[in-house]
Chain A
Amino acid sequence: MRSWAIILLILLTSNVPLLAQNKQLLYDFTEIPDALMVNPGMLTDYQWYAGLPVVSGLSIQAGSNALTVHDLFADDGEDFNDKVREKAIDRMGIRDELSGTFQTHLLNAGFRGRNPDNFYSFGIYTEGDAIGYWFKDLAILAFEGNAPHLGRRFNLDHLKARSEMVNVFHFGLNKRIHKKLTVGARAKIYSSVFHASSTKNSGYFVTTEGENNLRANTLVADMEFRSSGLDEIKDALDDNENTSLSEVLSRRMFFGGDLGLGVDLGFTYHLNERTLLTGSLLDLGFIYNTTDVKNYSLNGAATVEGIEFILPEAFSNLNDDLWQELIEEVESLIPYENNTKSYLSFRPTKLYGSLRYNFGKPMPSRGRCDCKDLVFGRQRFKDFNNAVGGQLYVINRPRGPQAALTAFYLRRFGHALAVKATYTVDKFSFSNIGLGLSLQAGPVNLYVMADNLLAYGNVADSHYASFQFGLNIISWGKK
C-alpha cells in the first residue's frame, strides 16, 4: 500500500508533463476496463469492475505541433521579440494548432449480465477540450499593421477556435455475437458546462491605393462567435452574482446546462485465431445549446477612403457631420450583431481502428467458465502473451479530419503485468514513443500511461505529451 502512495506522490509531484486526445496506449488494452471507453466492442472477460471515482480514467493532454514552450521561453539571452517573430509569426502556418484535453471519470463501472455474452457498463465522466489554430494573418496584422502590406489580403478564416466542457452520462452494452465477433454500443447524455466556438469565419481585410484618396481600407467579413454558459461562469468568477463557481459548475454538469445526445459504437472481429480487427466510432453526437447563449456576428463589406467632401454637391450639406455619417455607413454595411438564439454544436467525433496479431504462449483464461459455451461451441479464442499491430486514429477537427498512425507491441507477464509500447506518427511528432503499464494486484488494477517519452529530456521542448492514469477493482467471478 505504501508503494502505491509513493507512486501517486511521484505522479503528482514529478515534472512528467500532464499533457492526447488520441488514447493509442489505452486502445484495445483489454486488461484495463477503461479501454471500453475507447472501444465499446472490446473483448471483455470481467465479471464486474468499478473504477475509483475521480482518480480512475484520468487523462490529460496538451499539444502544440509547431511551437514549444522552450522555443519561446528558453533562457538563452535571445531577444524575446525576435523569437516570437522567427518562431511564431514567420514559421507557423494556419494548420498549426494549440490544443488540450482532459478527462476524468466521476463514476465508471460495469457488470456481466445474466446472459454471459452481455457486459454492461455505465458511468459519468467530465471532459474538457480546446483547440485553437494559429491565426497567422491576424497575428501579422496585429504585429506589423497594414502599412507594410499594401495590397495583401489578411484572411479572416485564419481564426478558428473551439472549446467546451461537458459532463457525460453513459450506459453501454458489450455483446459477444459469436465466437468471432463482439460488438458494443454506448448511449450518452451530454450535460454541457460551457461551449464556445468561432470556426465559420470568412472574408478579408485589405489596404490598397484608393480610387479617390490615397488609401482604401476594405473589410469583407462573415464572422461568428457562439457561446453558451460562459457568462454564468464569468459572473461567478467576477463574484457579480451570489453564486460560487463550484455551484455553477456542479449545476451545469448535472443536467442544469445544455443537453445533448450521443453514441459510441465499436467491434472486435477475429479474422482467425490470432488476428483481430477492431474499430470504434466515438462521440457521434450533438449538444443543443439553449441556456446562457451569446452569439456575435460581423457580416458585410465596406471600403473606406476617409471623409469625402466633393463640391459643388457638398454645398447643400455643409453642416453635416461627415465623420459620423461615415461611421454609420460602415456600421450599416458591416453590422455587428448579437443574439441569444439556441444552436447545435457537434462533438468532436473520433474513429479508431486496429489490426492485431497475437503470438507467443497462450494465456489461461481468467473469466468464468460458462457451460453454455461448451455446449454451443462458443468458446473464446485464446489470449496470447504477445501482440503486435497497427492502429489508426482520426478525429474531426475544425480544419478537417486529423489522423494518427500507431504501431504497437503488447507483452503480458502472466496476469499480473502487461506492458504496451507504441510508436505514433501524427502532426505533432514523428518520434512519439509511448509506454503503458497495467498492473493487476489481486482485484486491484492500476494503469499508468505516458507518451512522447523521447521528449522527456526537456519537457519544455516537447510538442506533445499525454498522461493517463486509472485505478479499478476487477472481478472475473469464480471459476
Chain B
Amino acid sequence: MVNKILILSIITLLGLVSCVEKQNFDQLDDLFIEPTIEGSILYVEAPEDVFNQPIVGGSVSQDFNFDGFNEDIFADRVLEGSIIYEIENTTSKELDLTVEFLDEAKLILDTMYIHVDPGPTATVEKEVAYGGASGKNIEIIKNTSSIRVHVQNLGDNTSVSNLPDPKIIFRSMGEFTMRIR
C-alpha cells in the first residue's frame, strides 16, 4: 500500500509540476511565404546581315508563345514583379524595338518601346514593373500568353558596321514575388 501511494505521489507530482506555458497556435495563420523568383524569358539575336536582306526589308517581327505566365502555378500566386530588358546594338542601324504582351486571343495587353542608337552604343536597359503600388496592372502578366518582338530598322539596308560580328541582341528576364502561403 505504501508503495502504491509512493508511485501515485510521484506520478501526481510529475503531473502537477509539468506545465505548458501558453501557446498560440493561431499564429500559424500569420505565416506568409513570399519568395522572389527570377529567370530568363526571351533571347533574340539578329546579325546586321538580316536587315540588309531585301526579303526582310526594314523590320523583323516574331510572335513567341510563352505560357509561363498564365500557368496556374504562377498566375494564381504572383503578387508583383518586373521585367528587365537589355538591348545591345553593334550594327550600324538605328532601331526601334517594340515588345508586346498578347493574351490567348492575340489581343495586345501591354506594349513597351525602346529606341536604340546605331553602334557602337552602350547597352540599353529598361525595367518595367507590374503590380504593387507603382507598377502596371499585374493582370497583364497573368493573362500574357505570347510575346511579340518587333524590330524596326530606321536606318538604311546597305551599311555594315565596322565592329566585329555586328548584331542586335535582345535579352529579357522576369523577377516576381509569389505568395506560396
Binding site for B on A (CB under 8 A): 3-4, 6-7, 10-11, 14-17, 69-70, 72-75, 79-81, 84, 141-148, 207, 210, 212-217, 304-312, 314, 318, 321-324, 413, 416-417, 435, 437, 439, 441, 446, 448, 450, 453, 456-461
Contact = CB atoms under 8 A, between A and B. Distances in A.
* Binding site secondary structure of chain A: mixed
B15 A14 contact: yes
Contacts of A439: 3-4, 7
Given A146-B38, A306-B42, 18 more contacts: A3-B4, A3-B8, A14-B15, A70-B21, A146-B39, A213-B41, A214-B40, A215-B39, A215-B173, A306-B172, A307-B66, A309-B62, A310-B45, A311-B44, A321-B65, A441-B3, A456-B19, A460-B21
Nearest to A453: B14
Contact of A306 (B32, B65, B173, B177): B173
Given A7-B7, A312-B50, A453-B14, A307 B27 contact: no
Q: Which of B18, B31, B38, B50 has the most CB of A within 10 A?
A: B18
Contacts of B62: 309, 314, 318
A380 B181 CA distance: 65
Nearest to A320: B65
Given A10-B11, A214-B173, A309 B44 contact: yes
Contacts of B49: 312
Q: Which of B15, B43, B172 has the most CB of A within 10 A?
A: B43
Given A142-B180, A310-B45, A304 B36 contact: no
B47 interface: yes
Nearest to A322: B64
Nearest to B147: A307
Given A15-B15, A311-B45, A146 B37 contact: yes
Interface of B: 3-8, 10-12, 14-15, 17-25, 27-28, 30-33, 35-47, 49-50, 60, 62, 64-68, 84, 86, 171-173, 175, 177-178, 180
A16 B19 CA distance: 8
A75 B24 contact: yes
Q: Enumerate the 9 nearest inter-chain pairs by beta-carbon distance, A residue then B residue, closest first.
A: A145-B35, A306-B40, A14-B15, A456-B18, A213-B40, A147-B36, A80-B27, A214-B173, A75-B24
Nearest to B41: A306
A460 B25 CA distance: 12
Contact of B32 (A72, A74, A81, A460): A81
Given A141-B35, A323-B67, A214 B84 contact: yes
Given A3-B8, A81-B31, A324-B65, A215 B38 contact: yes
A217 B39 contact: yes
Nearest to A306: B40
Nearest to B23: A73
A435 B5 CA distance: 17
A460 B23 contact: yes
Nearest to B85: A214
A6 B50 CA distance: 91
Nearest to B15: A14
Nearest to A145: B35
Nearest to A417: B3
Contact of A7 (B11, B41, B47): B11
Contacts of A80: 27-28, 30-31
Q: Which of B30, B65, B172, B175 has the most CB of A within 10 A?
A: B65
B68 A74 contact: no
A309 B42 contact: yes
B40 A144 contact: no
Nearest to B170: A309
Given A145-B37, A147-B38, A311-B45, A214 B171 contact: yes
Nearest to A446: B7
B46 to A, nearest CB: 4
A64 to B, nearest CB: 15
Contacts of A3: 4-5, 8
A143 B27 contact: no
Contacts of A304: 39-40
